[in-house]
């Protein structure tokens, strides 16, 4: 494959000629790091073999797109081409534009020691090696196959970062000037602060939100920073091969139970596409699973589900501007959503983006802005 024109086109989308990341993108053969991946379909995820479909491979690898490489415990490398797999994505090669955004927030100046959390395909480590040099980059993932495969493929393209298999929530193998995480966390793990050098900087996203947090280590062992105005969403950290199963039992209840019925003054909202609202709601009630659909009568529908048994269902007929809401369980999830939507109308914005971040030495993470505050 003549990959260089494709990489140049990707660099034009994900960076610009004056950027520190222009050359790394242009000179990194991403296709050699992602030989197989999954594409979604109506019945699950289908494995695609790049080397056997070179044009498809080039188009996918050099698009500014996330390529899903693992579904549940099944990596695309181990799935027969055309095979359909069901489950949740558990690893991917993140879209290059977002990788660059996270690395840029890390302020990777020459000489800094970087910990790249969540190895995935190894693409973020490859870009970082180009910028810093191999000896200053460590890449870590909980999955031994991912670190092994990435290390082998990185070596083929002449990159040799230190690849470590470990749990990012536990003791980290070294001291670093920068920690940039390509996986989300519910709050800052204490081991990150321990492994961060004095004055070091960490960059991560918060699970279930679109929030990017940047923070610099303080003298007391904590850190201070802010929620960036950029937005991003990554897979959450996991302790095993897969994530917990979807809340299908709660969904079955939410589909049929009448619960408490109210009328909302707002139209039905696809919360996952409303980043400010979604982020604010996730901070207020972490762990909500959102689903959308269409009723038999063509009405717009949305469901909110939680592992504690709380649920909400809202629908809105064609031409209508208000929604009928059904809720049940120990909490009224839709009421929380409406409180946030009212706040947005009252203030013209929500306080999550641009918030100050204060992290205590034990990882306690507080966001605050304009009289609003929450601790993760």
pLDDT bracket for residue 54 (50, 70, 90):
very high
pLDDT in tens, 72-123: 899 999 998 878 898 888 899 999 999 999 999 999 999 999 999 999 999 9
pLDDT bracket for residue 8 (50, 70, 90):
very high
Residue 233's pLDDT is 66
Q: Assess whether pLDDT exceeds 70 at residue 144.
A: yes
Residue 236's pLDDT is 53
d(CA 89, CA 334): 27
Query: What's the distance, CA 71 to chain centroid?
Result: 15
Q: Assess whether pLDDT exceeds 90 at residue 18.
A: no
Q: CB-based burial of residue 257 (10 Å sphere; 0-12 exposed, 13-18 middle, 19+ buried)?
A: middle
pLDDT bracket for residue 298 (50, 70, 90):
confident
Mean of pLDDT values over 270-287: 93
pLDDT bracket for residue 241 (50, 70, 90):
low
Residue 242's pLDDT is 47
pLDDT bracket for residue 296 (50, 70, 90):
confident
Percent of the chain at pLDDT exceeding 90 = 82
Domains of the chain, first to last: 4-231 (3.40.50.150), 248-347 (3.30.160.690)
């Amino acid at each position: 494959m003549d990959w260089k024109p494709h990489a140049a086109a990707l660099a034009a989308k994900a960076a610009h000629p004056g950027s520190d990341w222009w050359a790394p993108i242009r000179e990194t053969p991403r296709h050699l790091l992602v030989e197989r991946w999954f594409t979604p379909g109506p019945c699950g995820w289908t494995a695609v073999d790049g080397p056997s479909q070179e044009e498809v491979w080039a188009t996918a690898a050099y698009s500014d797109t996330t390529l899903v490489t693992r579904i549940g415990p099944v990596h695309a490398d181990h799935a027969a081409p055309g095979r359909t797999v069901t489950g949740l994505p558990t690893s991917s090669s993140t879209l290059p534009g977002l990788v660059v955004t996270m690395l840029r927030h890390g302020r990777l100046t020459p000489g800094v020691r970087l910990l790249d959390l969540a190895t995935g395909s190894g693409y973020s480590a490859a870009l970082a090696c180009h910028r810093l040099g191999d000896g200053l980059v460590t890449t870590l993932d909980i999955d031994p196959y991912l670190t092994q495969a990435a290390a082998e493929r990185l070596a083929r393209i002449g990159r040799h970062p230190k690849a470590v298999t470990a749990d990012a929530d536990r003791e980290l193998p070294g001291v670093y000037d920068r920690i940039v995480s390509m996986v989300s966390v519910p709050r800052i793990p204490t081991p990150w602060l321990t492994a961060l050098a004095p004055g070091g900087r960490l960059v991560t996203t918060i699970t279930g939100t679109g929030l990017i947090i940047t923070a610099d280590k303080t003298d007391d062992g904590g850190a201070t920073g802010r929620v960036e105005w950029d937005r991003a969403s990554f897979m959450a950290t996991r302790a095993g091969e897969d994530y917990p199963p979807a809340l299908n039992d709660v969904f079955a209840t939410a589909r049929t139970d009448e619960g408490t019925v109210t009328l909302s003054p707002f139209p039905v909202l696809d919360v996952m596409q409303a980043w400010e609202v979604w982020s604010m709601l996730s901070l207020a009630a972490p762990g909500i699973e959102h689903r959308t659909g269409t009723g038999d009568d063509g009405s717009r529908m949305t469901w909110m589900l939680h592992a504690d048994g709380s649920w909400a269902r809202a629908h809105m007929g064609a031409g209508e501007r208000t929604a009928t809401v059904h809720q049940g369980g120990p909490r009224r999830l839709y009421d929380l959503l409406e409180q946030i939507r009212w706040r947005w109308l009252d203030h013209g914005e929500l306080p999550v983006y641009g918030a100050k971040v204060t992290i205590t030495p034990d990882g306690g993470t507080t966001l605050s802005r304009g009289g609003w505050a929450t601790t993760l």
